[in-house]
A and B are shown apart, each in its own frame.
Chain A
Amino acid sequence: MTIPAEAQAAITRFGISIEDYMLPVHGQIQILAEDGTMLPEDRRGSSPGHQYPVPTDRELLEAYRRLVIGRRVNDQNSALVRQGRLAVYPSSHGQEACQVAAALALREGDWMFPTYRDSVAVMTRGVDPVEAMTLFRGDWHGGYDPHAHHVGIQSTPLTTQLLHGVGVAHAAKLRGEDTVVLAMCGDGATSEGDFHEALNFAAVFNLPVVFFVQNNQYAISVPLAHQTVAPSLAHKAVGYGMAGERVDGNDIVALLAVLDRAVTLARAGSGPLLVEANTYRMQAHTNADDATRYRNDAEVQAWAAKDPLNRMRHYLRSTGVLTDDVETAFAGDAEDIAQQLREGLGSDPTLDPQDLFRHVFTEPTPQLREQAALLADELARDELSREEH
C-alpha cells in the first residue's frame, strides 16, 4: 500500500501500522453501554491503533445539553409538520448523537456538508433554527448563508454534496489553510456513483475530508442488506486507500472520541477518513412515509432501548455531573429553541412574488426582467379586479 509521505507522518504520530490504520475495528467502537455505564477499556471494541481517549466531563456535559436540544428540535419540527406549519421534515430522532458529535467535532473555520436529515447538526453548528427550517417550510430552498457558519446548503440529491465538500477542502489546501471538511451522507446514499467519486478524489488529492456516514439501517424502505454486501460501510474506505472506522452511532462519547481523532488526523495531513456510525432512524423517512409497510415494531423497540439520550443521561447522572438543577437548565434551553421554532414558523412568512426572478443569475437576463414585469402586471390586474368586486 502506498500512502503519501505527509499521511505517513501523521499516522506514525499516532503510533500505528498502516494496515491497522486503514481497516475499521471488528465490531464497533463503543464506550458507553446501553444502560449508561462506561465499558472497561478492553470491551470498547478497540484494537491496536483504534484506542480512543474519553472526552472530558465538561465536553460530555455540553454534548448532552446539545442532545437534549436536538431531540426537542426534532420533536418540535415533527409537531409543526402535523400542524401544517412545515411542508415536510426528515427527522433525525434517534440519531441526535451523530448530529451533535458531527457539529462539535469541527472548529470554527471548518466546513460541514449536510443532507436533508441533518438539520440538528446544522443548528448545533450555529445556524439559526428558523433559517434552517426555511427549506422545509417551503419559502426558499435554503434559508441560511453557507459562508456564515461554513455549512453547505442541506442537500437532497444524494451524495452530490460530498464532492462539493471535496472541492472546498481542495481549495483550502491549495491556499495552505488547515480547514477540515466533514461531509455527511446516509447508508443508502453510499450506493450512488458520486459517493465513489468523492472518496476517490479526496484520497487521490490527499484532502482533509472526514466522510461521516450515518448508517440508520434504512434508505426509505430499503434495508442496508439490499445496499451492500460489504462487511461494513467503513470497510469501503480501504478500497480508496483511506482509513475507515465504525462507531456506535447512539453513543455520543464514542462518537466524539472517534470524530475528534478523525478531524485531528485529517488536519495533520493524513488524507481523508471515513467514519460509519451505526444508528437507527426511529421514525418514518419523512411524515409522507409509512414505515409500517416495511419494518416491524419489535425492531424499532429494540433500538429504542439504545436511545442516545437515555444512555448519556444515565452515565452523567451516575458520575454526578448531571444534577437536577443542570437538567432543568438544559430543558429550559431546549424549550427556548422550541419556542423560537414555534414562533418563527407559527406565522406565515411574507412572500414577494418577485423573488421568483431573483438570484437566478447575479444579474437578471432581459428575459427574466420581462417575465418579472409580466407577473407584476398580472398581479396588479388581479388586485384591481378584487377591489372592483
Chain B
Amino acid sequence: MSTVAEAAAARAAATAGPDPVTFAKALTTAMADAMRADDGVIVFGEDVAKLGGVFRITDGLMAEFGDQRCFDTPLAESGIVGMALGMAMNGMRPVVEMQFDAFAYPAFEQIASHVAKMHNRTRGRVTLPMVIRVPYAGGIGGVEHHCDSSEAYYAHTPGLKVFTPSSVADAYRLLREAIASDDPVVFMEPKKLYWSKDAVDLEALRRDFDGAEAAERAEGRAAVVRPGTDATIIAYGPAVPPALAAAEAASAEGRSVEVVDLRTIVPFDDETVCESVRKTGRVVVVAEAQGFASVASEITARVQERCFHSLAAPVRRVTGFDIPFPPPKFEHWHLPGVDRILDALDELQWED
C-alpha cells in the first residue's frame, strides 16, 4: 500500500519550481491574507490564539492581527458556532475552528438548525458569511473521537456548502473562497494531509485570488487531477492521494485511469464528473468515510442516473467499513488503500 507521503512526494516532484509548502501553511496563509484584505474576518475557537491551534493552522494570526481578531473562546462548540452566527449576522466574517471532527458534534444543533437555515428562514434577508473549519478523517493514528469522517452529516444538510481540499494549492484557494462566500461553508481539512508538501507559489495564488480579473473559481468545480481514458476514480479529501497512487499502479498494468477530485462536495460538479465518466465508461468512487448512506453513495447514484448508458459496469465504491472509526492499531485495515482500489478497478467487467 502506498502511503500519503509517497503520493505527496510524487506530486511534489512532478511540479518543480517554488519551494515546497505544506498544506497547513497554505491554510494559515489563506486566513492571514483574508484577514489582511478584510477587517471583518475574525478567527476564533479552542486553543487557536496563543497556541495557534492544536495543528498550528492559526499559528501567528494572533501575533499579527491582535487578540480582538484571533482569540480563544471558552470550551464550548455550540457557543463558538452560535456566536459566529450572530457575528456573521452583524457584519463580520467569522472563521471558526472545531478542534477535531467529533468535537464539532456539540455544535450540530447550531449548524443544522440555524447556520444552514437562517438564509432560507429569513427569505434571504440574512446571509451568513461564516466558515466552520473541521480537521477530519483518519490516517494519523488518532484515538477514538479524533478521526471521524463527518462530511455526510453536513452534506446532507441543505444550506451548507461543504469544501474539502486535497492539494496544497486547493487548500489555499478553497479557504479563500470559503471565507469570501456569502453562504456558510463547512470546511473539511483532511488532517493526515496537513504535513503534505507541494511546490506551490502562494504569491501567485494570492495574486490570482485578489486580482482584478476574477480568477477561475474552485467552488463547484471538480478537478481532473490525473487524466486517463479507461476508467475514472472519483474521490475527495483524504481519499485523493490513495486514488492517485492506485491510478499510478494501474498504469503499470496498462490501464489509463483518470482521477477526479471533487474539491467541493456541495456544490457538486455533475458536469466534470459526468464528462469523465462518459469518456471512460468505468467508475470507482473512493471515500474514507463509512459507505452506508454516505457522500460516496450520492456520487454513485448521480453517476448511474446521469451516465447509465455510458457505463460498461456498475459503479463500484471503495469506502471505510460501516463501523465506528477503529482504534489506531486497526485503522490500516479500515482505510481504503491502493490494493482495495485496484481490486475494485479489476472488477469493472473489462472482459465484456
Contact = CB atoms under 8 A, between A and B. Distances in A.
Interface of A: 87-88, 135-141, 156-158, 188-189, 191-194, 219-222, 226-228, 288-289, 293-294, 349, 351, 353, 355-357, 360, 365, 367-368, 371, 375, 378-379, 382
Contacts, number: 111
Interface in B304-352: 321-324, 326-330, 333-334, 339-340, 343
Interface residues of B, number: 38
Secondary structure type dominating chain B contacts: loop
Q: 4 closest Cβ contacts across the A-B interface?
A: A138-B328, A221-B51, A191-B74, A188-B75
Contact of B141 (A138, A192, A219, A289): A138
A383 to B, nearest CB: 13
Nearest to B76: A191
B329 A138 contact: yes
Interface of B: 46-47, 50-52, 54, 72-79, 102-103, 105-106, 141, 143-146, 292, 321-324, 326-330, 333-334, 339-340, 343
25 contacts: A87-B143, A88-B143, A135-B143, A135-B327, A139-B327, A139-B329, A139-B330, A141-B324, A157-B103, A188-B74, A191-B74, A191-B79, A193-B79, A219-B75, A221-B50, A222-B72, A288-B54, A293-B51, A293-B52, A353-B330, A356-B326, A360-B322, A365-B322, A371-B321, A375-B333
Contact of B322 (A156, A220, A222, A367): A367
Given A356-B321, A356-B334, A357-B323, A226 B74 contact: yes
Contacts of B46: 219-220, 222
Contacts of B334: 356
B106 A194 contact: yes
Contacts of A228: 74
B57 to A, nearest CB: 14
Contacts of A367: 292, 322
B84 to A, nearest CB: 16
A228 B75 CA distance: 10
B333 A157 contact: no
A193 B76 contact: yes
A258 B145 CA distance: 34
A355 B329 CA distance: 11
Given A157-B105, A375-B321, A222 B327 contact: no
A362 to B, nearest CB: 15
A222 B51 CA distance: 9
Contacts of A382: 339
A95 B324 CA distance: 32
Contacts of A360: 322-324
Contacts of A288: 54
A87 B141 contact: yes
A191 B321 CA distance: 35
Which residue, B105, B329, B334, B339, has most C-beta atoms of chain A within 10 A? B329
B72 A138 contact: no
B102 A157 contact: yes
B28 to A, nearest CB: 15
